Amino acid sequence: MRELSVKTESKIVLLVVDGLGGLPMDPYGRTELEAASTPNLDALAARSDLGLSRPVAAGVSPGSGPGHLGLFGYDPLRFRVGRGVLSALGVGFDLGHNDLAARINFATKDEAGKISDRRAGRIPTEKGQELVELLNENLKLDGIEVFLMHEKEYRAVAVFRGEGLSGALADSDPQRTGLDPLPVEPTEDSQEAQKSARIANAFVERADEILHDEHPANTVLVRGFGKHPALPSFEETYGLDAAAIASYPMYKGLARLAGMQLLKEGEGIAGEFETLRAGWNDHDFFFLHVKPTDAAGEDGDFERKASVIEEVDAQIPGLLDLGPDAVAITGDHATPAKMKSHSWHGVPVLIHSPYTLPTAEGFGERACAGGSLGVFPAEEIMGYLMGHALKLNRFGA
Amino acid sequence: MRELSVKTESKIVLLVVDGLGGLPMDPYGRTELEAASTPNLDALAARSDLGLSRPVAAGVSPGSGPGHLGLFGYDPLRFRVGRGVLSALGVGFDLGHNDLAARINFATKDEAGKISDRRAGRIPTEKGQELVELLNENLKLDGIEVFLMHEKEYRAVAVFRGEGLSGALADSDPQRTGLDPLPVEPTEDSQEAQKSARIANAFVERADEILHDEHPANTVLVRGFGKHPALPSFEETYGLDAAAIASYPMYKGLARLAGMQLLKEGEGIAGEFETLRAGWNDHDFFFLHVKPTDAAGEDGDFERKASVIEEVDAQIPGLLDLGPDAVAITGDHATPAKMKSHSWHGVPVLIHSPYTLPTAEGFGERACAGGSLGVFPAEEIMGYLMGHALKLNRFGA
């Protein structure tokens, strides 16, 4: 890609409808996307290349991290991104390549030292903020800087800054109540991992002292350790000046990992498309992330998921009015209402440009299964977008 | 392949219709192949496996070199073939594994030393031949043999023979007129590349002296440096005695890279099929290359491309009369008239043998998109042909 990509005036849009892929509730029925009334997506599909993407590997349900890395063209098996890194980037922390990030849960420990509530009674956001400030003011570790940032309710993120840290650490979260918190253990035999485990355990010990008189949030659980994966940026790989429009911290974090500039999003789906219009002249690649489809799928709410898809459909004419040169509309994975979870199923992909081989009358899983892109790895979507936007030189003589 | 292939009496034909893949001129229309009247190909498709091949990588438009390497079963990302190598093989030069080949343009340099015409006014072929002879007679370089061969008009090819040469060299062609020619620079930090750059620059200097009084061809530009990529031959890989029928030097060069024997082609498409008939008893694999489809696509001439496809169609009954055991009909890449260039789009593939799973009534991009081969890498076509010709042993117990 790096060898072939050229800078041009053409503009690309990658519209990610989170958890777009679905299943029929009964085998003879229609999927969420098929059941939704989507006149604009259907008309676009009839002028587009279609296919089904496979996010990570056969049968493997991806998290949002690997799902998006694949869409951005990175090999999700090669680039592992810890939950802590996504949280740190999501709250806007300028994570350096030597920083070690971890997710923090405020939790409740009983008198016997057992975890009695892994979420500290879901303390309100204001309380969480207050506790993060308390920790930031009082927590000092020898030879290492610690930054604590609040996320939401009982959730926060810690960043450890120092030389020779490693993300090869297991969580302290015992996953069940009534158990002791686990000491943080290295998951590989290296000096860096051992040193990092010592630092993480000292951090938990010191936090326990500071939170001693608090209730219910009198301890912290740490999990999702990781370092910045040092992905090559969109600018390096594709020569693209990329912008991201996303309303959730994790997706902002993923976009920042790829070197995208975050645009200030408006309210709801319509607001995100408004942001796209406002920023249209300033970038040549736009990642726009729509979240509520996934949430509806996770809730098992087929109708609500279909209705969010209809809300996206209503924005398609406005998107096309901007005159993008190449557009992909897809998801990061399937979230079938039937399964109430992410799944491994094929994700519908629509790629539109003037250079397409249309195969169907509408947009849906089964139309995509017979499309001219076939069933293909999600990692290839960026290559197709670059080709359709005429941003790749010919390969070889 | 090498482990499983067995020599049998069965015969394989790989018919490459260059740039076969196409697109509809408007999204609701038909492609060149779909629009062409192809009763013979359609009848054959109805008894064949169909699929769409992806030449090199998603979104990447291949040159003819990588396109054909894929069809011959080589990984085009692993085996890079410089233009100079293809030219040398194409003119019939017996390129050794240590030889360094480069493409030569005769060009015009003005009094200030700037390139004023990169093609020396497109001197006629006779003049080009004369200049190549002049250079061959007078050009001696210390410690290295140089062979110059004429191609056509202002184009020639140079082969440098000596120990420790490298193809990691940039072109001297400045790509635009009004600029100084570039000194040949190594593109990697190795002694071989530095030595080779010195030789190439000495060659240009000496050629300038010899051509000093010529006009308009008073200098040479060198480009497309490369060495023989040392591909395993068809005989080694597949146990095939392979023959090639191609009318253009580059395709002859590609066939020779794979160790195929070149058959003397007749006039035009019909002549190529005549050559196939004449050589039928002497080989068990035939690569037959049809060029004018690609040329018509490059010209943006949809009708002419369709009509060349019809010309190929007329040869199909004669081909089948020979009784081939397995036939593939495909292209090395798409050249949609709509794009006037090679493209990344899927290429129709038809594989015929007695052992097929037919899925459609005719041959076309959309029929192939839904075929039993799916959308698949072009590199796999040779495997299918070997299987269909019953030339592969079972793998494992």
Query: Count of CB atoms within 10 A of residue A323's CB?
Result: 8
Residues of B in contact with A357 (CB under 8 A): 23-24, 31, 345-346, 365-366, 369
Q: Nearest residue on chain A to B25, judged by CA atoms?
A: A355
Point out the residue among A372, A381, A386 whose CB comes nearest to the CB of B346. A372
- To the nearest whole angstrom, how far is the Cα of A375 from the nearest Cα of chain B? 7
> Which residues of chain A neighbour B25 with C-beta distances below 8 Å?
none
pLDDT tens, residue by residue, A256-304: 899 999 998 788 999 999 999 999 999 999 999 999 999 999 999 999 9
The alpha carbon of residue A239 and the mean position of all alpha carbons in its chain are separated, in whole angstroms, by 22
Q: What is the pLDDT of residue B159?
A: 96
Provide φ and ψ at B150, rounded to 5°.
Answer: -85, 145
Per the prediction, chain B carries an average pLDDT of: 95
Residue B264 has pLDDT above 90, yes or no: no
Amino acid at site B90:
G
Interface contacts A/B by beta carbons within 8 Å: 109
* A244 and A161 within one domain: no
Contact A381/B at CB under 8 A = yes
The pLDDT score that the predictor gives to residue A235 is: 96
What percent of chain A is modeled with pLDDT above 90?
88
- Residue A352 vs residues A46, A361, B289: alpha-carbon distances, Å: 10, 14, 33
A394 occurs within a structural domain? no
Do residues B209 and B300 both lie within one domain? no
Nearest chain A alpha carbon to B369: A372
CA distance A115 to A30: 45
- Checking if the pLDDT of A397 tops 80, the result is no
pLDDT of residue B225: 95
**pLDDT tens digit string along B205-232?**
999 999 999 999 999 999 999 998 889 9
Residue B152, pLDDT > 90, answer no
Q: Which residue from A minimizes the CA distance to B336?
A: A355
Taking CA atoms, B293 is separated from A268, B289, B304, in Å, by: 50, 11, 8
CA distance A1 to A373: 19
Indicate whether B102 and B208 sit together in one domain: yes
Question: What is the arithmetic mean of pLDDT over A127-151?
Answer: 94
pLDDT at A308 over 90: yes
Residues in chain B with CB shorter than 8 Å from the CB of A382 are 59
Q: Which of A40-44, A271-275, B80-84, B385-389 has the lowest mean pLDDT?
A: B80-84
Confidence of residue B131 (pLDDT cuts 50, 70, 90): very high
Q: pLDDT per residue over A154-183, tens digit each?
A: 999 999 999 999 999 999 999 899 999 999
Q: Are B373 and B324 members of one domain?
A: yes
Pairwise CB contact (< 8 Å): A376 & B376: no
Whether A3 has a pLDDT exceeding 90, the answer reads no
- Same domain? For B265 and B207 the reply is no
Task: Among B204, B227, B250, identify where a domain stops.
Answer: B227
In a domain, B381, yes or no: yes
Number of domains in chain B: 2
DSSP state of A3: T
pLDDT at B110 over 90: yes
Confidence of residue B175 (pLDDT cuts 50, 70, 90): confident
pTM for the model: 0.89
Q: Given this model, what pLDDT does residue B11 score?
A: 98
Indicate the residue type of A41.
L
Residue A340 falls inside a structural domain: yes
pLDDT at residue A150 in the model: 96
Cβ–Cβ of B375/A374 closer than 8 Å? yes
B26, B72, B375, B376, best to mutate vs chain A, most A CBs in 10 Å: B375
Interchain CB distance below 8 Å, B57 and A375: no
Record: contact B59-A371, CB cut-off 8 A: no
**HSE value, Cβ hemisphere, 13 Å, CA-based, for B3:** 3
Q: How far is B343 from chain A (nearest CA, A)?
A: 8
Check whether residue A250 and residue A341 sit in a common domain.
Answer: yes
Residues from chain B that touch A75, judged by Cβ atoms under 8 A, are none
Same domain membership, residue B74 and residue B91: no
Q: How close, in Å, is residue B46 to chain A by CA atoms?
A: 18
Q: Which of A207, A227, A247 is the last residue of a domain?
A: A227
Q: What is the pLDDT of residue A329?
A: 98
Contact A394 B346 (CB under 8 A): no
What is the pLDDT averaged over residues B155-181? Answer: 94
Task: Evaluate whether A166 touches A196 at the Cβ level (below 8 Å).
Answer: yes
Torsion A381-A12-A17-A360 (CA) sign: negative
In terms of domains, do A56 and A89 share one? Answer: no
Which one of A373, A375, A396 has the shortest CB-CB distance to B63?
A396
Distance from CA of B41 to the nearest CA of A (A): 20
* A76 CA: distance to closest CA in chain B (Å): 17
- Average pLDDT of span A56-71: 95
E strands, chain A, are: 12-17, 49-54, 100-109, 115-117, 145-152, 155-161, 219-227, 242-245, 261-262, 285-290, 326-330, 347-352, 374-377
Question: Which residue of B26, B50, B60, B223 is the best one to mutate when testing the A interface, meaning the one whose CB has the most A CBs within 10 A?
Answer: B60
Return the CATH number at A53: 3.40.720.10
DSSP at A169: B
Q: Residue B33: helix, strand or coil by DSSP?
A: helix
Structural domain range at position A198: 85-227
Min Cα–Cα distance to chain B from A280, Å: 24
Query: What's the average model confidence in pLDDT over B125-132?
Result: 96
Asked if the structure places residue A355 within a domain, the reply is yes
Give the per-residue pLDDT at A91: 86
B112 and B41 in one domain? no
- Contacts B175 to A, Cβ<8 Å: none
Contacts of B61 in chain A (CB under 8 A): 387, 392, 394-395
Q: Does A356 touch chain B (CB under 8 A)?
A: yes
Those of residues 221-260 in B touching chain A at CB distance below 8 A are 224, 250
Same domain for B176 and B307, yes or no, is no
**What is the per-residue pLDDT across A65-84, written as a single tens digit (0 to 9) for each?**
999 999 999 999 998 888 89
Asked whether the beta carbons of residue B66 and residue A370 sit closer than 8 angstroms, the reply is no
Residue of B nearest to A358 (CA): B27
- The answer to whether position A5 is within a domain reads no
Segment B354-366 mean pLDDT: 97
Give A313's pLDDT tier (boundaries 50, 70, 90).
Answer: very high
pLDDT computed for residue A118 by the predictor: 94
Mark B263-291 as b/e (b = at least 16 C-beta within 10 Å): bebbeebeebbbbbeeeeeebbbbbbbbb
Cβ separation A395–B63 shorter than 8 A: yes
Shortest CB distance from A395 goes to which of B27, B62, B86? B62
Give DSSP secondary structure letters for B63-102: -HHHHHHHHTT--TTTS---HHHHHHHHTT----TT-EEE
The reply to whether residue B58 touches residue A374, judged by beta carbons under 8 angstroms, is no
**Assigned domain for B1 exists:** no
Which residues does chain A have within 8 Å of residue B31's beta carbon, measured at their own beta carbons? 357
For position A250, what pLDDT does the model report? 84
Contact A396 B62 (CB under 8 A): yes
Given pLDDT bands bounded at 50, 70 and 90, which one contains residue A58?
very high
Report the residue from B343, B370, B374 with minimal CB separation from A355.
B343
Residue in A with minimal Cα distance to B335 = A355
DSSP B360-392: -SS-SHHHHHTSTTEEEEGGGHHHHHHHHTT-B
* C-alpha to C-alpha distance for A333 and A331, rounded to whole angstroms: 5
Burial bucket for residue A67 (CB in 10 Å: 0-12, 13-18, 19+)? buried
Three-class DSSP labels, A318-387:
HHHHCCCCEEEEECCCECCCCCCCCECCCEEEEEECCCCCCCCCCCCHHHHHCCCCEEEEHHHHHHHHHH
Same-domain pairing of B176 and B311: no
Judge whether residue B248 has pLDDT over 90: no
> Which among A60, A67, A56, A105 has a CA at the least distance from the CA of A84?
A105
Mean per-residue pLDDT of chain A? 95
Percent of chain B at pLDDT exceeding 90: 87
Residue A247 has pLDDT above 90, yes or no: no
Q: Which of B58, B76, B83 sits opposite A383 (nearest CB)?
A: B58
For A:37-76, CB contacts with B below 8 A are 46-47, 51
Picking from B82, B343, B370, the nearest residue to A370 by CB comes out as B370
Asked, for residue B5, whether it belongs to a domain, the answer is no
Per-residue pLDDT tens over the stretch A208-235? 999 999 999 999 999 999 999 889 999 9
Q: Distance (Å, rounded) from C-alpha B313 to C-alpha B319?
A: 10
Strand A285-290 relative to strand A12-17: parallel, antiparallel, unpaired?
A: parallel
Q: Which residues of B touch A358 (CB under 8 A)?
A: 24, 27-28
Residue A255: its pLDDT value, please?
Answer: 93
pLDDT at A366 over 90: yes
Give the E-state strand segments of chain B in sequence order. 12-17, 49-54, 100-109, 115-117, 145-152, 155-161, 219-227, 242-245, 261-262, 285-290, 326-330, 347-352, 374-377
Residues B237, B377, single domain; the answer is yes
Residue of A nearest to B60 (CA): A387
- The residues that bridge with A347 in the sheet, in sequence order, are A53
Residues of chain A with Cβ-Cβ distance to B80 below 8 Å are: 396
Average pLDDT on A11-26 reads: 98
Residue B395 domain flag: no
Interface ipTM > 0.90: no
Residues in chain B closer than 8 A to A43 (CB atoms) = none
Poorest-pLDDT segment among A30-39, A100-109, B87-96: B87-96
- Of the candidate ranges A15-29, B140-154, B379-393, the one whose mean pLDDT is the lowest: B140-154
Q: Is there a contact between B366 and A380 if contact means CB atoms under 8 Å apart?
A: no
Domain boundary among B179, B212, B227: B227
